[in-house]
Homo-oligomer: A and B are copies of this chain.
Amino acid sequence: MKQFTKHTVKNSLKRIFLYRACLTRLKLLGVEKVYSYTLSDETGVTSDQVRKDFSEFGITGNKRGGYDVDELIDKMEKIFHRNKDHNLVLIGMGNLGTSLSRLKEIIDRFRVKVAIIAVPEISAQEVTDELIQSGIKGIINFAPVLLKTPADVIVNNVNLCDELESVIYYVHNQMKSEGTKNLDLLYRGTKY
């Protein structure tokens, strides 16, 4: 396993989410073993890329035998630090805060040490400042503002307007279909 480079990990990490989503679905369907091309078919990521990503995270399979679904899921859980103990804070139990329907599940299953900000725009920075005082190092921000934080704090913004406008942009500049390729912000489906 190579030394992680920030960029490589960032891209492959996002794909790992995708692989896992497929794997849990496949597991429910009773599938026990997958090949790189299985995941390729399901996600649209090339099988080369699947293997390269696995290699990146030190995930190995069996030559000729493919990968064991349970084992893969397990290794991914470890990547996401599901097995460690953390704390989570949700600030703002308004419409959005209460709508996070799977939150309890998330808290129970993943137990993280980050904060979710779902307060009105105007209070977001103030709340952030308090959180940082109390040692929070990771924030998911639903308020449509750019939070000021020290450099060691990770902020992940979820902004519906931006998501929407991305889609508009792509729909309008109808970039011709090339199969499922760009999984970064957007992706295109394949099979139908």
Query: A101–B112 contact, CB under 8 A?
Result: no
Comparing A16-24, A30-38, A61-69, the segment that makes contact with chain B is A16-24
In the complex, which of the residues B21, B139, B152, B185 contacts A174, with contact meaning CB atoms closer than 8 Å?
B152
Which residues of chain B are near A7, meaning CB under 8 Å?
182
Query: A21–B169 contact, CB under 8 A?
Result: no
Query: A171–B6 contact, CB under 8 A?
Result: no
Closest-CB distance, A96 to chain B (whole angstroms): 5
Which residues of chain B are near A173, meaning CB under 8 Å?
4, 9
A73 within 8 Å of B (CB atoms): no
Which residues of chain B are near A152, meaning CB under 8 Å?
174, 177, 188
**Given A13-B169, A149-B188, A159-B17, is A144 in contact with B6 using a C-beta cutoff of 8 Å?**
no
Residues 177 to 192 of chain A near chain B (Cβ within 8 Å): 177-180, 182, 184-192
Closest-CB distance, A57 to chain B (whole angstroms): 11
Bound Cα distance A64, B60 (Å): 55
28 contacts between A and B (CB under 8 A): A6-B175, A7-B182, A9-B173, A10-B186, A14-B162, A17-B165, A22-B146, A81-B168, A96-B99, A103-B160, A106-B160, A110-B161, A110-B168, A113-B171, A140-B163, A140-B164, A140-B167, A149-B188, A149-B192, A151-B179, A151-B180, A152-B177, A156-B163, A156-B185, A156-B186, A158-B158, A158-B163, A184-B185
Residues of A bordering B, CB below 8 Å: 4, 6-7, 9-11, 13-14, 17-18, 21-22, 25, 42-43, 79-81, 84, 86, 94-96, 98-103, 106, 110, 112-114, 116, 132, 137-140, 144-175, 177-180, 182, 184-192
